[in-house]
Structure 1
Amino acid sequence: MSRAGRSIEWHLHDPLGLPIPAEELYRPHFRERCETCGQRLICNGCSDCGRCA
C-alpha cells in the first residue's frame, strides 16, 4: 500500500559545490495510462520504452 506524503525538497549540487540549475534537473513525465497505476508513487516516470499502448 502506498501513500503520498509531504514532498521532499532537494538541494542538489555539482562536484564543485555549485547548485545545479532547475532547468538541468531531471523531470519525470507520465502518460495518461500512468494516472491509474499503483506504482506511480515510486515511479521515475515514463522512459518511452514503447511497451505501453
Structure 2
Amino acid sequence: MSPAREYYEKTFELLHQHHEWFQGTIPLIASENVPSPAVREALTTDFGNRYAEGWPGE
C-alpha cells in the first residue's frame, strides 16, 4: 500500500471515530452545533446565498 493510501485510510478512520463520538455527545460550544436536516436542506437552495441588510422597505 502506498504511503498516500495509508494516510488516507488513517485519516478516514479518525474521521469515522470522531463522527461516532460526536453522535453520542451534546455539543455545548455554539460553533460545533450541527444544524437540523431542515436547515441543511434550506441551505442547499438559493436561500443559502442570499442576505439582506436592514429592514424591508428601508
Q: TM-score range by the shorter chain?
A: under 0.3
CA radius of gyration, larger in: 2
Normalised to the residue count of structure 2, the TM-score between the two structures is 0.20
Normalised to the residue count of structure 1, the TM-score between the two structures is 0.20
Which structure has greater helix proportion? 2
